[in-house]
Amino acid sequence: GENVEQHPSTLSVQEGDSAVIKCTYSDSASNYFPWYKQELGKGPQLIIDIRSNVGEKKDQRIAVTLNKTAKHFSLHITETQPEDSAVYFCAASMITSYGKLTFGQGTILTVHP
Amino acid sequence: SAVISQKPSRDICQRGTSLTIQCQVDSQVTMMFWYRQQPGQSLTLIATANQGSEATYESGFVIDKFPISRPNLTFSTLTVSNMSPEDSSIYLCSVERGPENIQYFGAGTRLSVL
């Protein structure tokens, strides 16, 4: 089955800096890669996703890149703010697998004011 | 997006007892999912619940321990049976919605077993 590795496990940055979180996956058939943000006491919320027919996607301060050949994808957050502090999870699935997401281990991002 | 309500939001239970967690969605969905998030860990899929059929369980999860009901297209329950302290986790309900099959999560049920 699919295996997703996520790094780093913790990331500490100063407000205004950029943050990068990286994930690798094992199943070359995976073609959908969402990123979720989980704040304390809440469920995960989708912040951005990318599909295998696209190499990069941006939404304001957030971007995701995908390298299918190398089987890795990354989350980039620019101009970080304290409210970006949370746990971030990457995931992978096949679109036809009816929602079977395999999650990475999570990254605790702390943005210091 | 989707509005997903889970009840209870948290509970403290004694070992050997069972707890049923409810998940209500604001509109009809075909597939509902149950995940477990152990303390400080990632999310692991327990099972997929379709209306009108038995749930499909992932490796390591069995129906006797985690029975699931899906009586209609907006509601599902997960029961954690014969609980032990190792069952202390966050249990999350999610649904797939929209033409792009995006998955949305509820706030979770935080379970502690003493």
Distance CA B110, CA A38 (A): 14
3-state secondary structure of A82: helix
Distance CA A27, CA A109 (A): 27
Interface of B with A (CB under 8 A): 4, 31, 33, 41-45, 48, 59, 92, 94, 96, 101-108
Residue of A nearest to B5 (CA): A43
E-strand ranges in chain B read: 4-7, 10-13, 19-25, 31-37, 43-50, 56-57, 68-72, 75-80, 89-97, 102-105, 109-113
Cross-chain CB nearest to A98 (options B42, B48, B102): B48
Cα distances (Å, whole numbers) of residue A10 to A14, B20, B59:
14, 34, 29
Distance CA A107, CA A103 (A): 11
Closest approach of chain B CAs to the CA of A111, in angstroms? 19
Q: Are strands A102-103 and A45-51 parallel, antiparallel or unpaired?
A: unpaired
pLDDT number for residue A54? 78
Q: What would the pLDDT profile of B67-101 be if each residue is shown by its tens digit?
A: 999 999 999 999 999 999 999 999 999 998 877 77
Whether the upstream peptide bond of residue A44 has omega within 30° of 0, thus cis, is no
Q: What's the token pair of residue A5? A: 């590795």
Cross-chain CB nearest to A101 (options B45, B107, B108): B45
Out of A64-68, A97-101, B62-66, B106-110, least confident range: A97-101
**Does A43 contact B108 at a Cβ distance shorter than 8 Å?**
yes
DSSP letters spanning B78-94 = EEE-S--GGG-EEEEEE
Query: What average pLDDT score do residues B21-45 get?
Result: 93
Closest approach of chain B CAs to the CA of A89, in angstroms? 8
Residue of B nearest to A107 (CA): B42
Nearest to A33 by CA among A73, A78, A6, A67: A73
Distance CA B49, CA B52 (A): 9
At a CB cut-off of 8 Å and minimum separation 6, what does A73 contact?
A22, A23, A25, A33, A50, A64, A65, A66, A67, A90
The residue written with tokens 């995006």 in the block is B102
Per-residue pLDDT of chain A (113 residues; tens, 9 = 90+): 889 999 999 999 999 999 999 999 999 989 899 999 999 989 999 999 998 877 899 999 999 999 999 999 999 999 999 999 999 999 998 866 666 899 999 999 999 99
Q: What's the token pair of residue B34? A: 């149950």
Distance CA A48, CA A59 (A): 8
